[in-house]
Structure 1
Amino acid sequence: MTYHIYGIGNALVDKEFEVQDEFFTKAGIEKGMMTLIEEDQLHTMLDTLSTDYGLKKRACGGSAANSIIGASYFGAKTFYTCNVANDEAGDFYVQDLQAAGVDTNMDGDRDSGVTGKCLVMVTPDAERTMNTYLGITSELHAKHINEEALKNSDYVYIEGYLVTSDTSRAAAIQVMELAKKHGVKTAITFSDPAMVQFFKDGLKEIIGDGVDLLFCNEQEAMLFADTDNLDDAVEAMKSVAKTFAITLGSKGALAFDGELMHPIIPNPTTAVDSNGAGDMFAGAFLYAITHGHDFAAAGRLASAASSKVVSQFGPRLEAEQHEPLKSALDG
């Protein structure tokens, strides 16, 4: 195998700000959710945030990108299919990916347009709220898929956010079909409660007759199963995924390996910024299971890594922070 994980997802340059709750009330923004916005709204809000709060951090982002970069820093060989433009933000994005050791389809000529951006607003309670202008990433097409890299991977990993665009949803479905054709295992993340709430049919379309591995949080699982009971949601997940991991916030996580349910204990931490916690959980988990570890060990690493992410600002850890976390694999 050339790659442990082949990812496909949105490519967004994250701009992070620390804000107060009253900002959302004033701006009419729903807290804790990802909302798609137009380019003019992006510029207006960016001006306001930059003036009133100041930019805290810039990084190449997108849910699956964060997972793939995390896995890469742990030691996985990874490939990321995405779409950025031939602008400064696109240059920054590709350089950031490559610096993390991730191979990508974007290392050659890129189309004209505007690279997608995500305004990440973090409140003192560590909750993250996102307003996203997709830009050229909404034009992620099947043509961007690298079938050679895909068929030489252990897992494909698909981001649920792709469901919001017809072309990117079609690309996600194509990746799923190619994976099955080449005997590559399939993994998907629901990404955000809003994706399940408003795009459930599209997610079901991507999942098709089922996936090998599903990542979601408690709220997403219950929304998908149309229930307010976690046990019922767990049973519903078994009908669409052979294995899965459900994160439970401060209560830890559940990891189902197809036979046994493994409760994953939380790692006590003081949360500063919840952005990227679920992404890191998935990236660490995928690294572990593609390197010979069982679901219990994978859950321990994923829990340790995600608790480390929320204890600092930004959706990712620094490269050197990954290796010490591997001690969690040994229990």
Structure 2
Amino acid sequence: MTQPRLDVIAIGNAIIDVIGNCSDTQIEELGLSRGGMMLIDADQARTLYDAMGPAREISGGSAANTLAGLAALGAKCGFIGQVAEDQLGEVFTHDIRAAGIEFDVPARPGQPPTARCLIFVTPDGQRTMNTFLGASHLLPAEKLDAAKIAEAAVLYLEGYLWDPEEPRAAMRKAIAAARDAGRKIAFTPSESFVIERHRGDFLALIEEGAIDLLFCNEHEMATLTGTSSFEDGIAMLSDKVQVLVVTKGAEGAVALTNGERAEVAAQPIDRVIDTTGAGDLFAAGFLYGHVRGKSLQECLQMGSICASEIISHYGARPECDLAEYVNRRMG
């Protein structure tokens, strides 16, 4: 097996996050699922955007956010996703390349436009996400470069993109390419509603041994396993993947591998501003430690520290020198 040129290559939604503050009352008036994520169409996107107050536009997308964190820590990364030939597509392309991440999938002409996620943030920092997938769900399998996937130590897949048929086929092709090259495959199911739609597929991937590292939160694990018992869910999954990582919000996170179990508390911060991207950056910190050969406990600590940086400000991309931030907090 040749030495990997990249640490992580990811396939995910190429999205611009549009983030605005709102009240709890507005969440109810708009009929939104507080703290959750739902898919919306173009008309709903326009309606919600009109209802939003002053907003910030920041490049996002779950897997892309994870790569941004990895790159900030010093990892070499590549991204595979689809934007349209429009202004938001140009913004996304600029931002991800400026972060030092390789991205060479050509923009798609015509409609639909580049994806956007309208995020309403309540005073407690909770985010309610409403995603219009746009061009991102039209990523065809022929856009994949199997040789480039084989150059990465880890292929990271975002569950959000499993929903549309075209990118689902692309991700299956990528899994085969990574497996043929002897690389590791990491997967996050992304959200409970995605699991509800594709639970059979996800469980099949796990049962087949196609997933080496599985990232989920406690609610996603409950939906995936069908049990509300945290320990029972851990027991059902931990012997089917090489590494299982389960986050528990303010209660920290747990990871298991080869019978070893490690736990970490959430990092203390002065104030939670916006939880958007907390799971994405947790995955970034953990994966960085993993590809650098760190212990399970150290990987968890790095994930927790990265998540704490993200929830201390708006947006899902690091705003400080993340490598220095992690090094200082790791002690």
State TM-score, norm by structure 1: 0.94
Q: Counterpart of 1:117 in 2: which secondary structure? A: strand
Task: Say yes or no: does 1:47 pair with 2:46.
Answer: no
Alignment of 1:84-99 (within 5 A): 84-99=83-98
Q: Counterpart of 2:321 in 1: which secondary structure? A: helix
1:251 is aligned to 251
Which runs of no fewer than 5 residues in structure 2 stay unpaired?
A: none
Q: Counterpart of 1:176 in 2: which secondary structure? A: helix
2:282 is aligned to 281
Q: Counterpart of 1:180 in 2: which secondary structure? A: helix
1:15 pairs, out of 11, 14, 18, with 18
2:32 pairs, out of 26, 29, 32, with 29
1:328 deviates by 4.2
Separation (CA, whole Å) in 2 of partners of 1:327 and 1:245: 24
- Divergent runs of 4+, >6 A: none
1:72 is aligned to 71
Shift of the 319–172 alpha-carbon distance from structure 1 to 2, 3 Å rule, reads farther
Alignment of 1:183-262 (within 5 A): 183-207=182-206, 209-210=208-209, 211-262=211-262
1:110 deviates by 3.8
Superposition CA RMSD, Å: 1.5
1:121 is aligned to 120
1:292 is aligned to 293
Q: Counterpart of 2:59 in 1: which secondary structure? A: strand
Q: Counterpart of 2:255 in 1: which secondary structure? A: strand
Q: Is the 8 A contact 2:36 2:128 kept in 1?
A: yes
1:31 deviates by 1.2
1:231 deviates by 0.4
1:319 deviates by 5.0
Separation (CA, whole Å) in 2 of partners of 1:83 and 1:301: 30
Shift of the 205–90 alpha-carbon distance from structure 1 to 2, 3 Å rule, reads farther
1:261 deviates by 0.5
Separation (CA, whole Å) in 2 of partners of 1:20 and 1:236: 39
2:326 is aligned to 325
Separation (CA, whole Å) in 2 of partners of 1:22 and 1:265: 32
1:303 is aligned to 304
Separation (CA, whole Å) in 1 of partners of 2:315 and 2:117: 13
Shift of the 319–143 alpha-carbon distance from structure 1 to 2, 3 Å rule, reads farther
Of the structure 1 ranges 146-155 and 321-330, higher mean CA displacement relative to structure 2 is found in: 321-330
Amino acid at match of 2:164: S
Separation (CA, whole Å) in 1 of partners of 2:255 and 2:170: 28
Task: Say yes or no: does 1:111 pair with 2:109.
Answer: yes
Of the structure 1 ranges 286-295 and 193-202, higher mean CA displacement relative to structure 2 is found in: 193-202
| Deviation readout 1:239-258 (Å, 9 max, x if unpaired) | 44221110011111001122
Separation (CA, whole Å) in 1 of partners of 2:163 and 2:262: 32
Shift of the 24–165 alpha-carbon distance from structure 1 to 2, 3 Å rule, reads same
1:5 is aligned to 8
Amino acid at match of 2:160: Y
1:165 deviates by 0.7
Q: Percent identity among equivalent residues? A: 31
Shift of the 119–219 alpha-carbon distance from structure 1 to 2, 3 Å rule, reads same
Q: Is the 8 A contact 1:5 1:79 kept in 2?
A: yes
Which runs of no fewer than 5 residues in structure 1 stay unpaired?
A: none
Q: Counterpart of 1:316 in 2: which secondary structure? A: coil
Amino acid at match of 1:290: V
Separation (CA, whole Å) in 1 of partners of 2:172 and 2:116: 24
1:166 is aligned to 165
Of the structure 1 ranges 152-161 and 166-175, higher mean CA displacement relative to structure 2 is found in: 166-175
| Deviation readout 1:212-258 (Å, 9 max, x if unpaired) | 10100011111111111100010112244221110011111001122
Separation (CA, whole Å) in 1 of partners of 2:79 and 2:204: 22
Separation (CA, whole Å) in 2 of partners of 1:21 and 1:163: 31
State TM-score, norm by structure 2: 0.94
1:205 deviates by 4.8
